A and B are shown apart, each in its own frame.
Chain A
Amino acid sequence: MHHKEKHAFEPKIIAFVCTWCTYAGADLAGTSRLQYPANVRVLKFPCTGRIDPVFILKAFQQGADGVLVSGCHPGDCHYIAGNFHARRRFAAFRKLLEFVGVDLGRLQFSWVSAAEGGKWVEMVTDLTERVRGMGPMQEFKELALEEQWSGAIDTPELQEAYDSI
């Protein structure tokens, strides 16, 4: 905690977006010169229906502190029903994540159309700020550390050494 000044926490946000709506919306935000946090890394998919829950898991495992999944509004899907399928899959996936103990505050779903540059900005800003408030996503990192060191950082000395890296 006392190292906070030294290393201000900048959340890593991974956004999985569909190419037809949200990606275009994010692009519009850019070309309209709207400002939004640089914390977000955007990954483009053909459709929200292609976004497998395992991608979200992988993002958390690779160090994401927050994940945004966004695509076309219902009725606007380029493939007609991809987002409807995604909606059910993610409704179920959220329940599963919640049951294994992932705080759902770190995971946001949204519909952002190609015309909604402003909504994209709002979405990314909100999630970034919320995750900033929640602090780093430790759960998956701790698992990874256990893999390497056969044990978590359970002494103050180790924690201090780790923080100062």
Chain B
Amino acid sequence: MKHIALAAMLGLAAIAPAQAQTVVRHLHITSIPAEVELMNKIAADFMAQNPDIKVELPFLENEAFKAKLTTLLQSADAPDVFHSWGGGVFYEQAAAGVLRPIEDVLSDEAKANVGTAGVSAFTAPDGHLYGVARDVSEVVLWYNKTLFEQAGVDPASMETWDGFLAGVQAFKDAGITPIAIGAKDKWPAHFWWSKLVVRLAGQDGFAAAARGEGDGFAGEDFVKAGEYFLQLAALDPWQEGFLAAGYGDASGYFGDGNAAMHLMGDWDYGAMKDNSADKNGIPDEELGILPFPTIEGGKGDPTDTLGGLGGVLFSRNASDAAVKWIEFFNSTENQALYAKDAYYIPIAKGAADVMTNPFKVQIGQNISNAHWHALFFDQALGPNVGGVVNDVSAELAANAMSAEEAAEMIKEAVDDEL
């Protein structure tokens, strides 16, 4: 009996230092195995340097993450750090007091490392900084050079809207599906509406409509965006059965070389391969990026980009150790590892310099040269208005709703929120 007690005491003494560790739980949505491995490696490096901090990396799949986060953040089980996108939802979280302001904890160096755009994306309307930006993404028009040659379409001719429509018609005439789209998931359809709004209304027009000023989203530029979208839809440019196709289906359809174009984020470079039948997708030399067509008389700047700005937020209970971990995780040195393998385009200064993938390099340049980097509209406008934007976009793609009705529905949703 004595021995057991002694052994137990010794055992307790042995784990005592472990109990003194601060645990940092970082909830992420990374599902690509090699990328997860990289994240684990960075966490292991950090823990080796900081034996008093233990980093845990729980995972939730994207849709499950979105569905569970609201409850999770208000429970005792809230993670210290969690993945987030810039935009509407985060303001609600900040207003509800489930986040921790970190402007006093985060080093000036780390703030400088993400730049002004990175800081402002994670600053709530109350003026506090609640998170750290990690990556940027852009929606671009991917195209298949082989199919362009087959149909005799010159990519340069697609730079204006009229040229673009003519090109789409040329593909139709050649019996090639012009554009792949995953309209079942709706958000891929909303990229078309959003890009048209970026071109037609521009930054100021969009911001005014989002505030509900004047005619809001029922205004002229937004109705016009719907009309242009319908012009495209009238050509029936999408693959057969596009309303039953999710993003993955459309991505694979394009990756298999069945469609000439796909309007999608830079992440599709990898996803297109993963979703294709042979897992190789379109070889780099046959793949290209087109700028979204410009529209005459549009108020947007030609350099404007549409995309995302992702990062992490700190929950109410996050410790200083959590901030320390993120500073390490988001350092140029570690983010360069992600850049090297082209998982995403890091925002950390200089990290993207090591990118060798020509598409990612070009997208990185697009964003840094942009006059306005518009955040995905369905996220920038919050889940409710964003949901309506996605709905009407899918309707417009199917040529099943008038431009006026679409604009009116979005305006109503905004009014409902204000």
Do A and B bind?
no
